[in-house]
Chain A
C-alpha cells in the first residue's frame, strides 16, 4: 500500500517537473508562500513604520530612489516592498480559508443533493440558481454590511456565495458516479450510505474537486483584493494588496509606483495559481474543460 502511494507520488512530481508551465506556476507560488511565511525574518523594512520625511520615494532605479527602499515608499513613507511581502499573508490566508470553508459546505450539500435527489435536491438547486442570478460582488458587499470587515468576516462573506460553485460541481459528479457498477456492487454488499459516500463516491469526485479548488484560490484572492479595494475587506493595521491599490490610486497623478507594484504582486500570485491549477487539471482529470 505504502509502496503504491510512494510510486504514485514520485510519478506526480516527475510529471510536474516535465511540465514547463506547471513548474513555473509551482515555483513562483512556492516563492510567494515562502516570502509570506518568512516575512518577519526577511531583511526588509518594517511595513507599518511611517515617516513623512521619506514619503513617496520612487523605486531605486528611478531618479531620487534610495537603496533602503527598493520599490519606493507610499504616501505615509512606508516601505512598499515590505508591505507587499506582508500583504501576501492576508491574500493567501483569506484565499485558502475561504476556499476550505466553501469547499466543505459545497461538498456536504452537493453530496446530499446528488445522493438524496427529490425535493431536497430541487430546493437546494433553486437556492443555488438564485444566488448565481445575483451578481457575486454585489451580493458579497451586502453580506459584508451584515458581517462587518476584517479577515474572519471576509472569509464568511466570500464563502456565502462561493459554496454554490462547489455544490454544483459535487452534485454533478455524484450523479455521474452514482450509477456506476462499483457503487451498485457496494450497495449490494450492504455498505451503509455514509461509508459508501466516504469510501466510494468522494474519492472519485476528489480529482475534479481539487482542480476546481486550486483555481478557485486564485479567483478568491482577486475577490479579496476587490473587496479590500472598496474598503469592505481587510482593515489597517492588517495589510492587503487591494487596500494598497486603493491608497495608491489617490497619488496616481504623481507617484505611479504606489499602485503599480501591489498589482504586479497580485497578478503574479494569481498567474502562478492558474498555471498550477491548469497543470493539475491536465494531470489529474483530463475530462474537465
Chain B
C-alpha cells in the first residue's frame, strides 16, 4: 500500500517538477543577460562577448533550454557568481536554519491554537468564544513583517529581553518563531473549534457520555481525534507556506535561512541560487504532500491510499 502511494507520488511529482523547471528557465531567460552583472568594470566588450559565447548565451532559446535540462539531469546545478561556488551547497547549507524556524513556528502555532480552539468550542457563543474568533481574524489581518518589527520594538528595543537579529542560541529563535507562528495560529484555532463542535454533536460522543466517561476524556480523546484530519492538512499546507513565507521574517530578523538567502540572491540577481532554491523548495513541498498522505492513513484507517 505504501508502494502504491509512492507510485502516485512519483506520477504527480515528475510532471510538477518538470513544469516548475520550465517556468524557472523561462523566468531566468527573461531576466536577460547575466554577464552584464558579472564582468569586471574594466573588461572590454570583446571580453564580455567571449563570456557570452562560452556560456552559450548567444544560442537560441530552445538550444539554451536543452542545455539547461541536460545539466539539471546530470546533477549540474550551475555556479553562484555571488559566492563563486557551486550553487547547490550554498542553498542546502541554509536549509537546516529554515527547517528549525519552521518547526519553531509550528510549535508556537499549535501551542496557541489548540487550547484556544478547544476553549472556544466548549464555551461556544460566550465572550471567550468571541475573543478567540476576533483574535483569529486579527492574526490573519496583521502583516507578518510588521508583527516582527513590533516584537523587535517591544522585546528588543524597549525591554532589551531578547536578541533581535541573527541565530546561534535558543533565544534567537523565539521572536522569529513567534512572528511566523502567530500568523497561522488564527486559522488553526478556528479549524480546531469548528471540527470539535462538529465532533461533539455526533452519536458516538453521546454514547460516550451515556457510558459516564468524564467530559475531559471525551473532548481530549474522542472528539479531538475527529478534528485531527483537517488540522493535519492545514498544518502541512502551513509548513509549505512557512518554507516560502519565511522569506520576509528571515530578512527582518537576519535569520540565516533559505528565505534570507533567496531575498539576497534576488537583490544580486544570482540566478543560479534562485533556480536551485525554487527546485529544492518544490521537492520539499512534494515530499510534505506525500508525508501528509501517509499521515492521513495513520489517523484514519478508513482512507485508502
Contacts and interface: CB of A to CB of B under 8 A. Distances in A.
A84 to B, nearest CB: 13
B198 to A, nearest CB: 12
A278 B20 contact: no
Interface residues on B, range: 35 or more
B143 A138 contact: no
Interface residues of A, number: 44
Contacts of A127: 19
Interface in A7-56: none
B299 interface: no
B304 to A, nearest CB: 22
Interface string A266-283: 111011001100100000
Interface in B248-295: 248, 251-252, 262-263, 266, 269, 274, 277-278, 281-282, 285-286
A230 to B, nearest CB: 6
A134 B245 CA distance: 11
A119 to B, nearest CB: 13
Residue with the highest number of chain A CB atoms closer than 10 Å, among B15, B146, B150, B274:
B146
B220 interface: no
A138 B149 contact: no
Interface in A235-269: 242, 245, 248-249, 252-253, 256, 259-260, 262-263, 266-268
Contacts of A145: 27, 31, 266, 269
A120 interface: no
Nearest to A268: B141
B244 interface: yes
Contacts of A248: 149
A270 B141 contact: yes
Interface in A122-155: 126-127, 129-131, 133-139, 141-146
19 contacts: A126-B16, A129-B19, A135-B241, A135-B244, A135-B247, A137-B247, A138-B244, A138-B281, A146-B27, A222-B144, A232-B266, A245-B149, A252-B153, A253-B157, A256-B153, A256-B157, A259-B149, A262-B146, A270-B140
